[in-house]
Chains A and B, each alone.
Chain A
């Protein structure tokens, strides 16, 4: 049957040569090469569950009275959007589990993207000829973060409404264009009625279409350039060593898809996430406390909490405080990330082709910079819960914030220095692992390398 179909197709459009080439394509086996696949499969789960959710969600802020089966909110005045999310959660069979799998998949999707990007960074996989895919991948990460935000803002609950309020203020803070930008994005002064339907169409159509398009480009380039590989016996710049696409790699990769889906199902079924019925409907004069965004925006939230009460004012014009941590910092962050492959080329003067990967020790400066930068964003991420930490430790929030303000500079410097010493020592000692490395190697005196 399959053979017959394939024959019928080949007689009309050809393609057997390509199919044969594709089936025999070799993919290297290393656990860290699965990270991108985890992201891809989380995205597939997002699409599958998202289509289901979109059939029930009502993107409107018209007022209605909640009459569903969740008793504490019965009789409450809520928006159609919030009402439809409650209906989906309590009165549509399998609705809640779908919603929760969708939210967990978003969390895992962005996490897998970030870890995948760290792997690519620390192994030097972005080097020539793979600069384009670094740029495409980074754009995918930005789109994923943005779509995550538009997604959790849809239910029109109190927590996400507060997030939208902050987003509006951030847009407002941009010099010269801020007021127009905020009014055009939201349709007018906050809270404008257009924002929920706009977020909806952005979330379910515009950004997913961009992600699918860029994902296709990303995978096509990987296919064309073939995968990188770690150095090892028989592995050269001019070859790829591993399993063939058919059948071994296909079976493993399909297994990974089902494994990712299984884990997300377990999370979605067993661990409650974003219980919007507990936050209540959005009211502009109310606010939840504590209020934290989803994890991938934690660093921006933390930066807003850490940045001191500074702003620039002159001649009746001003650059408001949120501009610096919430516009300038992310702008610089992503500009540097986009530029990194080219910056490194400039500093190392390395314009060679690289298909074999570095190990972290092979490039102590890059590793140290990567560790320091990651630590910087990690401290800001943690600072987004300074109020919770203060409550938990019984301290004043101001003191906790001060500690974080110091840590955000000291911790990256320390982490970068320590990792530089460790990588350099490992490289110079010639040891394979840290355990084999003699302690004296940390003095960074050159020793005869083992053969």
Chain B
């Protein structure tokens, strides 16, 4: 029963796999072969060790006593006495002890200040985007857009000119079909083209999918659905607020521009968003 053969086989297989691994590596490497061979190298040793333990090592069962209660009440009492005796000296000078506490407390507070260096002050950053009156709408390549660049039922992601990295300013442009009434306040749309913030009001993901048949914007992160014809009100999913609408028009050169910034803060909520 106590044969050494399987152990020998496992160890030889392990050694051979390690050699093969070296060859694979020297010949330029190949991920699948590397993983599989490493598994054999390590697995062979694993099998050998477990078999050695099962077949040749003492099993007992061995018994060891344990302290049901790890503590030692007498030692604990003596320790408390020693501690009290030496701390009496400090306690007798109560004023100094308190002052020491004050000094440590103040130092602790002062030590918290470097945390402030970690970031900029939120201030009003979350309330504004780079959009403003007359700011041109551009593609990701900073190319300005005319109305004719957007096909009917088309969907385009645009940025303020020279601010194509402004994540909070990403906006979707949608050209509605002829029968659809553009939503929003009068003058917000231009020739059936409407613009909404692309940042989901739930958790900030880009509202990346537009279904032209139902005029719905869809967020792939948590499945919020926004109805474009109802001024991007959420109709399903966890979002609670519509996507803010960017009022747009066309400038004298025929390029699409914003009339203003978004009328309210874009994106996910925060405690003082309404202030």
Contacts and interface: CB of A to CB of B under 8 A. Distances in A.
Nearest to B209: A289
A190 interface: yes
B268 A26 contact: no
A262 B225 CA distance: 46
Contacts of B69: 129, 353
Contacts of B271: 174-176, 178-179, 317-320
B32 A258 contact: no
Contacts of A97: 31, 34-35, 38
Interface residues of B, number: 82
A173 B116 CA distance: 20
Contacts of B70: 129, 224-225
A73 B151 CA distance: 29
Interface string A153-171: 0000000001001101110
A390 to B, nearest CB: 9
B31 A96 contact: yes
Nearest to A176: B271
Contacts of A165: 203-205
A94 B65 CA distance: 49
Contacts of A353: 68-69
Contacts of B239: 309, 321
Contact of A398 (B29, B122, B236): B236
Interface residues of A, number: 99
B270 A242 contact: no
B76 interface: no
A355 B159 CA distance: 65
A74 interface: no
Contact of A318 (B32, B50, B222, B273): B273
B219 to A, nearest CB: 8
B38 A285 contact: no
6 contacts: A165-B204, A179-B122, A189-B120, A243-B59, A305-B237, A398-B236
Given A187-B120, A266-B43, A287-B206, 19 more contacts: A166-B204, A178-B271, A179-B122, A179-B270, A239-B66, A244-B58, A248-B53, A254-B49, A262-B38, A262-B43, A269-B34, A288-B220, A304-B238, A311-B269, A317-B271, A321-B269, A322-B202, A322-B268, A353-B69
Interface of A: 24-26, 29, 93-94, 96-97, 100-101, 129, 162, 165-166, 168-170, 172-176, 178-180, 182-192, 194, 224-226, 234, 237-244, 247-248, 251-252, 254-259, 261-263, 265-270, 284-291, 304-305, 307-311, 313, 315-322, 353, 355, 386-387, 397-398, 401
